[in-house]
Structure 1
Amino acid sequence: MGKSQKQRQMRRHNPMRVPDSHLPKGLDSATASSSKKEAILPIIQKMESLDASERKWACVAVSNLIQNDPSTRRLLQGKNVVGALITRLTDSEEEVVIEAAGALRNLCIDGGFDICAEMYNKNILAPLMTFIPKISGTLSQFLSSPKNAPENAQRVVYDFADNVITILWCLSETSNKAMNSINQIPLIPFLMSFLASRDKLPVLTVTSAAQCLYVLTDENVPMIQELRSNAAYTACLLSVVQSDEPIPHVNGKNKAVPDDRALTFRVLCCGVMRNISPIPPPSVAATVDLDRDIILPTLEPVLSLVSLPDAAQLAKELIAQEDSIPQLERLSLKNKPKTDHKTPSELELERLETKLRTVQLALEILTGLCATLPDPEAPVPDEGAAGGNDEDEDEDMEGEPDIDMALEQESSTNQAAPTKPTFFRSLISPLLALIQPTILSFSPPDGPSPHPPTTSALSAIHISAFECLNNTFLSLRHASSSSGSYIPNSDADSVNKIWNEIWRALGVVGTDVDIPGQERRKQMWEIGVGVLWGVANMWKGALVPDETQVQVLMQLCNATTDHSVKVKCIGTLECLAQHPESVDANRVIANYLLSLLPPSAANPTPTEPLLQAVSALIDIYSDEGLPYDINFRQGRYLEVLIASVEGVRKAVRGIDKKRERELRVRGEEVRDNLIAFIQYRRGLGV
């Protein structure tokens, strides 16, 4: 079982904030589905106008037209709007440059990797690089003499800086090639200057700088080294997450209503610190246990920041309010639109999305943390079972899975790592809540979501929560294996609650996952089955197999073309088959696994799933004294295994020793185990 890694595409727009995968490919389909196709040509024409006001109008119009409208965005792309906007970044009129940057920023956010790659290929970095020293110089002037700069002028500069920074961090997620080019720009001092002056700057701009730092320090050695080696930078980051100072406000002057983005800012700083850890002396951050003292205390409350069902319902109501606004009152192209003109319902939807994205961000950071905790190499003292006080507390927890009792023994046997008890006891329940889909979590089968940004954020949260659960249970399993302590079967009721919550989530997702536009549903299954395997493997023999669930796992294994998903399905079935009293379910699962073996398989089973199936059968029937072993004898399974040996040998020989060394070693081990198992069962004479 592999651990889930942080997924870069999830940080921004997963990978599209306003996806167009539900549309047939090609410009014709986009033309047919866009209600604004007649406005496209005038915009492109005015982008090249001699009149600066018309060029500015065209840039603003792009931002307005693409809002939650993938069809129109695709049409504009087909008319080279990206190239036209990049050209406007070198416009002689400053206002045109500012609006062009805003339009490009919105295209990056909504459009995903493809549009960012197009920007990079059309050399957007050339003009962006020239803006950085200009922004730095202007920023220094504002900070040193704030009274000499009109507030409106400051706002324009801060918004422009936010747009430039956002484009840069979107581009950095596009490809390694783009990242390498961005590494040549002196961005760390530029970005850290915003964090250092966070009390005097708008939280939106400061948060964008932190987001850019978070992306740039993700397994990117040059940026990590530059940031980690500067004690002032790391001390600044530490002060953000440890500070008791008032939360930054929208206008940077601590007068407005607190902005939810301030929490996002702190979460991002946690992520940056984790990206660059371990932090060396002489930085004050080197003296702190980041995971225990910084990451967990900051991120744990974030998981309960918002109720997803309530958020979906609120979004639905706000969408209805927006739809009820008469068309004449809406912003139109004829009225010289402004990019900051938004209705109250639009602003509320943005605030809601900010909260959801903050939860998603916290989950992403925790997924990386879960991949390293608990450390199976850490010394583990041999302590007794936990006391029973928590069981009394659990009885009072209504409406939530009773997971504490099942995890209590794990916590008590792993006191060597101080973060483990807190982590495992406090995160499982909120994670199980966050995997449950809502009414807006997925696009309907026949079209786009009524509000794509909300749907994108919700589905990203579900997937990130599944990934975090996946790593949590794998880490728990590894820790219990290394300490020789396992969860007892007496906790089966608690385990079943966890198991059923996972299946409840997947049941809402449904099985119609291959329809265009339903990619997120498919992802939920691909990751969710890995979580099922982790839970089943951790409490192997304690879960009573359900006939419907077994059939779903078999169907998924047959239907998917992803070898890793097949392996997860087989691994989960293997664990379910080992419930001692479920003789009939054992027979059904075993017959399915045997059907995957050569030469009887209807279609050749890919190598990794084949090896998993062979290993599963050996593990299931390694103890001939179990009640279900009667299936092995009556079904003459030994004969089937003997017939499969040559096919397994052939499959192992076909694994490239150089390219797939680990798989080859694994294959040889399974092959040898199969031969030894056959000899063992033959020797039993039963």
Structure 2
Amino acid sequence: MGKLKKKSRASIERRKQVLGQRKKEVDDSTQKKVAPLISKLSSSAPNERSMAISAVSMICDTDSKLRKLFLKEKLVQITMEQLLNDNNDECVMEAWGLLRNLVVDEGYAVAVYTWRNDIWTALHAALVKADASLEKVDGSTGSVEKTLLFDYIENVLGLIEALAEVDDNDLRDEVMNKVLSGNIVEFLLKVKSHPKVTAKLYTFVIGFFYEISSQSLEFLRLSSQKLSLETSASSNSGFLAQLYHIGLDFQLKEVQNAITPQVALRYLETIQTLLAQIDLSKTSRQEAASDIPTKEEITGFQETKMNIQAVDVALDLVSAIVESIGSNNLGNEQIYQVSTNHIIPSLVLISQNEEFVSKALVALYNYSWLLKSEEDWLPTAQEILAMVLPQVYQTEELELKTDYLNLAWVLLSTSGDFEANSDINQVQGLITFSTNLVQSEQIPGNLTGYYTSLIRFLSKLPARSSLEIATAIGDFLVECTRSSLEQLVTGNFTQIHTRYQNLFEINTVECLNAIFDVFGDASYAYDESVYVQRDYSSKLESLISHVKRVFKVCDKSKHPELKEQLAEVMDNLPLFIEYKRSERN
């Protein structure tokens, strides 16, 4: 099934922090914002409690520094033990929303705390209460009462959705078991089809089906048996609801193997139309001007969240649909024209927005793979590459730098004769930056993935760059292979894997494969000056025994794919050296 994944807010915030940046001290004015609001959560006045919960929720959602301070003041515990049991319905509704936001923003730490403290019992009771209240909603129900109930339903279901999307397989499985064994699908269908349901709640319910179906194929199958879903929402629906409809329809059709070129084209055209309706200027998170946000600020904040969510969903869908087109050979001239004339320019524009850059780069990456062999793709690929290459060299945050490297790599793989606009100082700076990461005191968690992307990117530069750059890259690849093998052969195996996991084995595989590719033919302009004159054959020959030793100690039961890759480069390395030595004879 096409990948419909989204990053947590915590992940988005991490990429905004420069690697190695120290935490800033919290000033007194910041601290003073927290204590009064925590105090007001226990106010004797229901209106004051409700306003305080709403204010805390908005502040936590827009300011990670303040959110950490609120959490230190036991905000989650106060919410679960006190606010969810408040005697005021509005306070309880707001409390569910606050807890949902904290799980979305903080992820595993808050989620597992709530789960271990039996949040599901409270969630189940809340759903039973909501179901009973929904039965009583009719034409005589007041608008305030109805709005309160619908917001309550949205917040309770929103917490379930947030728990189901936590980045931990064990916790996610436990949550999904509860979801699948309960009557949540039936409740969702009841809400969706209720004659008095608002557009806001309807959108949320369709979104819940979409998001949870992205997590669980079993949930998708269960839903598809009971969900009567038209192929597209009414044009009167909001753009977010229509995007969710496309997402659900896409998921269902993928399971049924029913995606055709015509269906894929319709999806892409509709998504492009909906993207054009979203005001990208209203996708920046803003802090409240005062300690307690005004109603106008809260309304604006909610509009911003909806716009952000809509663009997020659209980008996920484009990535998944394009991936499906490529893997199922569904591409045709109409799809290519709509993509290059409309969707790809939109993605390039969206990639300039910090909020969406990572997802936009993934969508462009998928498109670049789909179109890289098409004759008309080269001019567009060159334009995108000109935008991406400076970011490859300048960006310091590792996750985002990896995304840029991946996109640049596939763009450099585009068919056609063109040069990469890089100079030797940029390439050497990138190599130095990357080498320092391995030697840093704190090893980044995604270092292995970063290095794989780096090596693949560098392997495409020599054919499209100067001899000086080809020399620097060749030297790096040989040295990275040597140093990786040396770490594994001479170092403490257990300590190395505790600190680096399988970084050095994977680097060995990637570097050797890159060397085979970069220097695979004597006709390459740089081959004589770099490979031959710098005597790479002798340097590589001295590493053969090390490769064999690393292959031997690699545990096939734990790393079967890596074992196979090591076997392949172990067999190919002596053959490659022999080939290169006989190549000019």
The TM-score with structure 1 as length reference comes to 0.71
Pair 138,616 (structure 1): closer, same or farther in 2 beyond 3 Å? same
Distance 1:626 1:331, change over 3 A: closer
Cα shift at 1:189: 1.8
Q: Give the corresponding residue for 2:442.
A: none
Q: 1:195 to 1:293 in 2, by over 3 A?
A: farther
Quickly say closer, same or farther: Cα 1:107–1:652, change in 2 above 3 A: same
Correspondence for 1:445: none
What is the CA deviation profile of residues 474-515 of structure 1, one whole-angstrom value per residue up to 9, with x for unaligned ones?
3445xx4xxxxx659xx86554322111124556xx44x4xx
Aligned counterpart, 2:198 = 202
Alignment pair present for 1:265 and 2:279: no
Structure 2: how far apart are the matches of 1:613 and 1:541?
A: 25
* Counterpart position of 2:444: none
1:606 to partner: Cα distance: 0.9
Once the two structures are TM-superposed, the CA of residue 556 in structure 1 deviates from its matched residue by 4.3
Pairwise CA distance, 1:369: 2.1
Do residues 374 (structure 1) and 250 (structure 2) align?
no
Distance change in 2, residues 1:331/1:666 (3 Å): closer
| CA distance in structure 2 between the aligned counterparts of 1:19 and 1:636, rounded to whole angstroms | 41
Distance 1:35 1:600, change over 3 A: closer
Contact 2:76 2:99 in 1 (8 A): yes
1:496 to 382, 395, 404: 382
Which position in structure 1 is the counterpart of 2:153? 161
Secondary structure at the counterpart of residue 354 of structure 1: helix
Tell me, yes or no, if structure 1 residue 140 matches structure 2 residue 135. Answer: yes
TM-superposed deviation, 1:33: 4.2
Quote the residue 2:118 is aligned against.
123
Alignment pair present for 1:301 and 2:282: no
Tell me how far apart the structure 2 counterparts of residues 43 and 647 of structure 1 sit (CA, whole Å). 66
Q: For residues 141 and 122 of structure 1, what CA distance do their matches in structure 2 show?
A: 32
Query: Normalized per residue, which structure has more helix?
Result: 2
1:589–1:372: structure 2 CA closer, same or farther, 3 Å change rule? same
CA contact (8 A) 2:378 2:416 kept: no
Partner of 2:98, secondary structure, is helix
Q: What CA deviation, in whole Å up to 9, does each residue of 1:337-366 have, x standing for no partner?
A: xxxx512x5533432342232112110122
Match of 1:555 among 411, 432, 437: 432
Within-5 A mapping of 1:99-248: 99-142=94-137, 145-146=138-139, 148-174=140-166, 175-176=171-172, 177-197=174-194, 200-230=196-226, 233=227, 235-238=228-231, 241-244=232-235, 246-247=236-237
What is the rounded CA distance, in whole Å, between the counterparts of 2:541 and 2:392 in structure 1? 37
Determine the C-alpha separation between the residues in 1 that align with 2:250 and 2:180: 20
Take 1:660 and 1:347, find their aligned partners in 2: how far apart are those partners?
Answer: 51
Residue aligning to 1:664: 563
The one-letter code of the counterpart of 2:248 is V
Q: What SS does the aligned partner of 2:522 have? A: coil
Report if the CA contact (8 A) 1:599-1:644 is conserved.
no
| Residues 663 and 156 of structure 1: CA distance in aligned 2, closer, same or farther (over 3 Å) | same
Deviations 1:112-140 (A, max 9, x none): 44323322222222122122233233323
1:582 aligned onto 2:493: no
CA distance in 2 between counterparts of 1:20 and 1:666 reads: 35
What SS does the aligned partner of 2:271 have? Answer: helix
Aligned to 2:450: 565
Distance (whole Å) between structure 2 residues aligned to residue 24 and residue 39 of structure 1: 28
> Is residue 617 of structure 1 aligned with residue 494 of structure 2?
no
Task: Give 2:52's aligned residue.
Answer: 61
> Displacement of 1:60 after TM fit?
3.9
Cα shift at 1:528: 1.2
**Structure 1 position 17, deviation (Å):** 7.8
The aligned amino acid for 1:297 is E
Contact preservation (8 Å) 2:96, 2:155:
yes
Question: Structure 1's 180 and 549: CA in aligned 2 closer, same or farther, altered over 3 A?
Answer: farther
Tell me, yes or no, if the aligned pair for 1:4 and 1:371 is still in contact at 8 Å: yes
Taking the aligned partners of 1:371 and 1:94, their CA distance within structure 2 comes to 46
Shift of 1:203: 2.1
- Distance change (3 Å), C-alpha of 1:217 and 1:289: farther
Task: Name the CA shift for 1:106/1:684 in 2 (closer, same or farther; >3 Å).
Answer: closer
Gap change, CA 1:60 and 1:104, over 3 Å in 2: farther
Q: Deviations over 1:80-135 (max 9, x none)?
A: 33233223434455454334334334434554443233222222221221222332
Distance (Å, rounded) in 2 between the aligned partners of 1:351 and 1:529: 33
Q: Confirm or deny: 8 A CA contact 2:481 2:507 kept in the other structure.
A: no
- Answer yes or no: is the 8 Å Cα contact 2:485–2:508 preserved in 1: no
Residue correspondences, number: 550
Structure 1 CA distance, aligned partners of 2:422 and 2:321?
Answer: 33
For residues 565 and 15 of structure 1, do their structure 2 counterparts lie closer, same or farther at Cα, with a shift above 3 Å needed? closer
**SS where residue 167 of structure 1 aligns?**
helix
Match of 1:82 among 57, 60, 76: 76
Alignment correspondent of 1:433: 349
**2: CA distance between counterparts of 1:64 and 1:599?**
54
Query: Aligned match of 1:362 in 314, 325, 328?
Result: 314
Distance 1:211 1:132 in 2: 18
Give 1:426 shift.
3.7
RMSD: 3.7
Amino acid at match of 1:650: R
Check the 8 A contact 1:158/1:205 in 2, yes or no. yes
- Cα separation, 2, equivalents of 1:558 and 1:99: 49
State the alpha-carbon separation in 1 of the partners of residues 334 and 189 from structure 2. Answer: 32
Mapped contact 1:305–1:355 kept (Cα < 8 A): no
Q: Which consecutive unaligned segments of at least 5 residues does structure 2 have?
A: 439-446, 489-502
Q: Which amino acid aligns with 1:464?
A: K
Tell me how far 1:566 sits from its aligned partner: 0.9
Structure 1 spans left out of the alignment, 5+ residues: 248-261, 333-340, 381-413, 442-457, 481-485, 514-520
For residues 272-317 of structure 1, what are the alpha-carbon distances to aligned partners after superposition, in whole Å with 9 as ceiling and x for unaligned? 2333334659xxxx79878425532221234444575x457xx59x
SS at 1:372's partner residue? Answer: helix
Map 1:399-418 onto structure 2 (within 5 A).
415=332
Whole-Å separation in 1 of the counterparts to 2:162 and 2:253: 23
1:164: Cα distance to partner? Answer: 1.4
**What is the CA-CA distance between 1:25 and the residue it aligns to?**
7.9
Q: Give the letter for the 1:81 counterpart.
A: L
Does structure 2 conserve the Cα–Cα contact (< 8 Å) formed by 1:136 and 1:190?
A: yes
Distance between the aligned counterparts of 1:645 and 1:529, measured in 2? 29
> Is 1:9–2:1 an aligned residue pair?
no
Aligned equivalents of 2:259 and 2:581: distance in 1? 60
Q: What residue number does 2:500 align with?
A: none
Query: Quick one: distance in 1 between partners of 2:426 and 2:55?
Result: 47
Provide closer, same or farther for how the CA distance between residues 646 and 221 of structure 1 changes in structure 2, counting only shifts above 3 A: same
TM-score by length of 2: 0.82
Distance 1:585 1:296 in 2: 40
Distance 1:140 1:293 in 2: 41
Matched, 1:347 2:233: no
Is 1:532 equivalent to 2:408 in the alignment?
Answer: yes
Pick closer, same or farther for the CA change 1:5–1:607 going to 2, 3 Å: farther
Do the aligned partners of residues 559 and 36 (structure 1) sit closer, same or farther apart at CA in structure 2, a change above 3 Å counting? same
CA contact (8 A) 1:30 1:71 kept: no
